Amino acid sequence: MAAEPKKIIIDTDPGIDDAMAIFLALRSPEVEVIGLTTIYGNVYTTLATRNALHLLEIAGRTDIPVAEGSHVTITQGTKLRIADFVHGADGLGNQNFPPPKGNPIEQSAVDFLIEQANLYRGKVTVVALGPLTNIALAIQQDPAFVKNIGQIVLLGGAFAVNGNVNPAAEANIFGDPDAADVVFTSGADIVAVGINVTHQVVMTDADREKLALSNGKFAQYLCKILDVYFSYHHEAYCTRGVYLHDPTALLVAVNPSLFTYTEGVVRVQTSGITRGLTLLYNKQKRFEEITEWSDKPTVKVAVTVDAPTVVKLLMDRLMNS
C-alpha cells in the first residue's frame, strides 16, 4: 500500500523558481500541500501573497489556504533586499496577470505554522524557500514548535562556496541572517539545501524548448514567465540555462534519497562584510576552547544531488500536468 502523503507547508516568496516548486509539489503524489505561507525576498510580502493566490488559481487548487507572513525582518528591519532583477517587478516574469479573486486567510503565517505543527504533531514538513523570518518567529513564539514540527527543509546558504548576493552570502540567508541563525540553532530537524547544491541543477535552454512543446498546463504557464529568469542567468552567470533552486529543495521533501548529506552545527554571520555567511562546523576537530558552535544542535546539510534525475522528475511532472 502506498504511504500516506507527507503533509507540507511551503513558505514562499514567489518568484519564478518558487512557482516551479509549487507546481511540482502539486504534481507530486508523495506530498500533500496543506498551505502556503508567504514572505518577502524575490518580491515584497504583499505581492508574494498575491502571487501565491494567483498560482493556486492557475493550478485550480484554491482549496489550499494562503497565510500572509512577516513584512519585516526579525529585528523589525524594513530595508529589505528584493530580487526583482531576477524575477521581474511582479515576481512572475512581468506578465501583468490579473489580480487573484481569492484572499489570504485571517490567520498570520506564524500562527498558521504553529497551529498546523500542533495539529499534526511530528507530521508536517515546512519547505522554506525564502528568508526564514516566519519560521524563526514561530520558534520564538511557541516553545513547542521545534518538537511539534516534523522537519524543516530550507533553501538557503552557500556552504564552502561563494554566495549569490555577494561572495559571502546567499540571498535567502542574507534576507534575514538573524532569523536564519535562530532557525539553524533551534534544535529542530533541519535539512539545508544551499547553492553549492542547487547550482548543480540546471534547466537548459533545450529543456525549456521541450517544456514549450508539451501540452502540460504548468509547462505552458511556466514557459510564459521563464523569459526574465533565463535572461538574468544568461547575463549574470556563464550557464546556458537557469538554476533550479526552489524545485530542487522541494524534492528533499519528496524524495530525500536524491541527495547525500553531512551533519554539523551551522551558524550565520549577522554583521559586517560577511553578513549572511553560513558556516558549517563539521565536528572533525574537538576544539580546546568553547566556541559559538559548541553545544549547539546539529542540522543536516545537503552535499551532493542526482541532478539529471531532479531535472527529469521536474520536467516530467510539469509536462504531464
Ligand X SMILES: O=c1[nH]cnc2c1ncn2[C@@H]1O[C@H](CO)[C@@H](O)[C@H]1O
Task: Give the C-alpha separation, 194 to 293, whole Å.
Answer: 19
Question: Smallest distance from the beta carbon of 128 to ligand X, in angstroms?
Answer: 11
Question: Smallest distance from the beta carbon of 149 to ligand X, in angstroms?
Answer: 21
Closest to ligand X by CB, 146 or 228: 228
The full DSSP string for 204-268 is EHHHHHHHHHS--HHHHHHHHHHHHHHHHHHHHSS-SEEE-HHHHHHHHHH-GGGEEEEEEEEEE
Q: Is 35 in the site for ligand X (CB under 6 A)?
A: no
Q: Is 83 in the site for ligand X (CB under 6 A)?
A: yes
Q: Is 42 in the site for ligand X (CB under 6 A)?
A: yes
Question: Smallest distance from the beta carbon of 4 to ligand X, in angstroms?
Answer: 29
Q: Is 111 a catalytic residue?
A: no
Closest to ligand X by CB, 80 or 105: 80
Stretch 124-183 residues interacting with ligand X (CB under 6 A): 129, 164-165, 170-172
Residue 31 one-letter amino acid: V
CA 139 to chain centroid, in Å, comes to 18
The terminus-to-terminus CA distance of the chain in angstroms comes to 24
Distances (CA, A) of 256 to 6, 35, 170: 12, 21, 22
Q: What DSSP designation does 274 have?
A: T
Residue 83 one-letter amino acid: A
Annotated active-site residue in 54, 199, 233, 245: 245
Dihedral-angle region of residue 125 (phi above 0 means left; psi in -120 to 50 means alpha; beta otherwise): beta
Question: Smallest distance from the beta carbon of 198 to ligand X, in angstroms?
Answer: 7
Stretch 177-216 residues interacting with ligand X (CB under 6 A): 195
Closest to ligand X by CB, 29 or 77: 77
Closest to ligand X by CB, 154 or 171: 171
Q: Which of 164, 155, 150, 109 is nearest to 129 (CA)?
A: 155
Question: Smallest distance from the beta carbon of 126 to ligand X, in angstroms?
Answer: 16
Annotated active-site residue in 13, 18, 90, 181: 13
Closest to ligand X by CB, 68 or 246: 246
Q: Is 205 a catalytic residue?
A: no
- Write out the residues near ligand X by the rule CB under 6 A: 15, 17, 42, 83, 86, 129, 164-165, 170-172, 195, 236, 245-246
Task: Please identify every residue annotated as catalytic.
Answer: 13, 245
